[in-house]
Amino acid sequence: MRNTVCSGLAALLLLGSFTFVSPTQDPEVPYPEGYRMWTHIKTGLIGPANPGFRFNGGYHHIYANATAMQGYNTGYFPKGSVLVFDVLDAKEQNGNTTEAGRNHVDVMVRDSVKYASTGGWGYEEFKGDSHTERLLTTAVKGQCFNCHAQQSDHVFSEFRK
Amino acid sequence: MRNTVCSGLAALLLLGSFTFVSPTQDPEVPYPEGYRMWTHIKTGLIGPANPGFRFNGGYHHIYANATAMQGYNTGYFPKGSVLVFDVLDAKEQNGNTTEAGRNHVDVMVRDSVKYASTGGWGYEEFKGDSHTERLLTTAVKGQCFNCHAQQSDHVFSEFRK
């Protein structure tokens, strides 16, 4: 009898672990393999005089997969949309500013079920050229969500034609 | 008889016009329709302190079609390769440099027969967002060729991964 109770409790605990998913247990956002072949949305350059330099200094290029391109065209980003914010160091010499090493790769993935706790978009940041070294804590993902949620369908950028 | 001679002369003249093509009669390089969906190769920013500012000041993005991507991967650009050098004005505010209007679109097209007089690459420049307003004289196309010919397969850029 005691064993049965214990087994039942264990089963309940196991069940609970699948039923009550906290934001910390959202599925991981996969590395956006092949994104350099995706569509280039736009580019910016953030210099030391800008408050954003600390985290996103240098060049940033935004890339979108084919599904996300539907979002730029219609205003609604379907499930499977992936956006990449690719941040590279910048080198200036004689007025010519060129791209240098990769600082980090930010990723947004649209899935309203998997990433319900952050508004239907999953957020991640990969360090440098790493495909596995993840930089975002749950708290920072919440900050991504809070800021993006103020934009139409949570996307800041527009496709530069 | 007279008519026959005249017809023969006309035929020779017609034939001649197809046989002896001068560089000025090279086929026009078509506008690269849809290039914004092609692969983004790399980006640079040229400021007023650089001698290149006069002609190519602001952002430049290089795009390649799928055929040209074979060239970046193998070192040989097959027939049909198209490269675009997309030049946009840049606006700086508080250390944040953003893209502005399009200044011009430079195009290179690979075809060793059509563009034999400029080393197997045809050159053109389109003004602003125009698909028809062409800016290169034959003399300037020759300058493009002379400079590019010093590079491997006449291409300066490398694909930034």
The one-digit pLDDT tens for each residue of chain A (161 residues) are 344 444 444 443 444 444 444 445 689 999 999 999 999 999 999 999 999 999 999 999 999 999 999 999 999 999 999 999 999 999 999 999 999 999 999 999 999 999 999 999 999 999 999 999 999 999 999 999 999 999 999 999 999 99
Q: ipTM score of the complex?
A: 0.85
Cβ contact, residue pair A43, B59, below 8 Å: yes
Domain presence at residue A21: no
Predicted local distance difference test score (pLDDT) of residue B25: 67
Distance between B60 CA and the closest CA of chain A, angstroms: 10
Q: Do the bridges between strand B58-64 and strand B82-93 make them parallel or antiparallel, or are there none, so unpaired?
A: antiparallel
pLDDT digits (tens, 9 = 90+) for B42-67: 999 999 999 999 999 999 999 999 99
Domain presence at residue B23: no
Domain presence at residue A19: no
Cβ contact, residue pair B97, A40, below 8 Å: no
Domain presence at residue B117: yes
**What count of residues does chain B have?**
161
Average pLDDT, chain B: 89
Cβ contact, residue pair A96, B47, below 8 Å: yes
* The two three-digit tokens of residue B155, written as one number: 């291409």
Domain presence at residue A15: no
Domain presence at residue A18: no
CATH code, A112: 3.50.70.20
**pTM for this one?**
0.86
Q: How far does chain A reach from its first CA to its final CA, in angstroms?
A: 71
How confident is residue B22, by pLDDT bands cut at 50, 70 and 90?
Answer: very low
Count CB neighbours of A119 within 10 A. Answer: 17
Domain presence at residue B84: yes
Domain presence at residue B61: yes
**What count of residues does chain A have?**
161
Residue burial B34-68, b: 16+ Cβ < 10 Å; e: rest: ebbebbbbbbbbbbeebeeeeebbbbbbbbbbeeb
CA dist B88 and B61 (Å) reads 8
Q: Does A59 contact chain B (CB < 8 Å)?
A: yes
Structural domain that includes position A68:
29-154
Q: Does B46 contact chain A (CB < 8 Å)?
A: yes
Total domain count, chain B: 1
Predicted local distance difference test score (pLDDT) of residue B26: 83
H/E stretch holding B4 reads helix B2-19
Kindly compute the dihedral angle of the four CA atoms of residues A156, A85, B47, B31, in this order, to the nearest 10 degrees: -80
